Amino acid sequence: MREVSGRCHLVYALAPDGTSAREANDLLNEYVADRSRGLAVWHDHFIGEHGGTVVLEVRDEQEEARLRDPGPLEGWQLSSHPLTFSLTAVGFSAQTSLTLEGYRDVTLDELASAETDDPRYWWRQRQ
C-alpha cells in the first residue's frame, strides 16, 4: 500500500448535454459539500458549458479514493489533476499570491482596494 502524499487536486467537471445551469450548479455544490472528499479549498461554476471546477486538499487514502467516485456527478465528464505546488489549502492561497505578485506585480490587497462598488461583487458584501 502506497502512502498518500497530501496535496491539492483540481477536479474539472462538465455536465452532460441537457443539464440545466441550475441543476449543474446544485449538483456541483453537492459534490463540494461532501466532506469525505477532502478539504474543499476553492470552487467555481462555468458560464455557457455547464459544470465547474473544484480544488480539494486530499489528506488520506479515503479522501483520495473519493476522487474516483463521481457521487452526484455520475454521468459527467470528470478529470482530476494533482497540483504541483499547492500541497495544502494554505499552499493554494500562497500560490495565488505568488502568481499575482511574481507575474503581475500586484498583491491581492492592492486589487481589493482598487475594486469598484459593482453589485455583482458578492465578496464585498461579506466583509
Asked whether residue 46 is domain-assigned, the answer is: yes
Provide the pLDDT confidence category of residue 124 given band limits of 50, 70 and 90. Answer: confident
Asked whether residue 1 is domain-assigned, the answer is: no
The domain spanning residue 80 has which CATH number?
3.30.70.1150
What is the per-residue pLDDT for 4? 58
pLDDT tens digits for 73-87? 999 999 999 999 999
Asked whether residue 13 is domain-assigned, the answer is: yes
Average pLDDT, the chain: 94
Reply yes or no on whether the pLDDT at 127 is more than 70.
no
Domain count, the chain: 1
Asked whether residue 32 is domain-assigned, the answer is: yes
pLDDT tens digits for 48-68? 999 999 999 999 999 999 989
Residues 6+ apart with CB under 8 A from 57: 6, 7, 8, 38, 39, 41, 88, 89, 92
Residue type present at position 27: L
pLDDT tens digits for 1-23? 455 568 999 999 999 999 999 99
What is the per-residue pLDDT for 125? 82
Asked whether residue 73 is domain-assigned, the answer is: yes
pLDDT tens digits for 86-109? 999 999 999 999 999 999 999 999
What is the per-residue pLDDT for 1? 45
Asked whether residue 17 is domain-assigned, the answer is: yes
Whether the Cβ atoms of residue 67 and residue 34 lie closer than 8 Å to each other? no
Which residue range forms the structural domain that includes residue 106?
A: 7-125
Asked whether residue 28 is domain-assigned, the answer is: yes
Asked whether residue 105 is domain-assigned, the answer is: yes
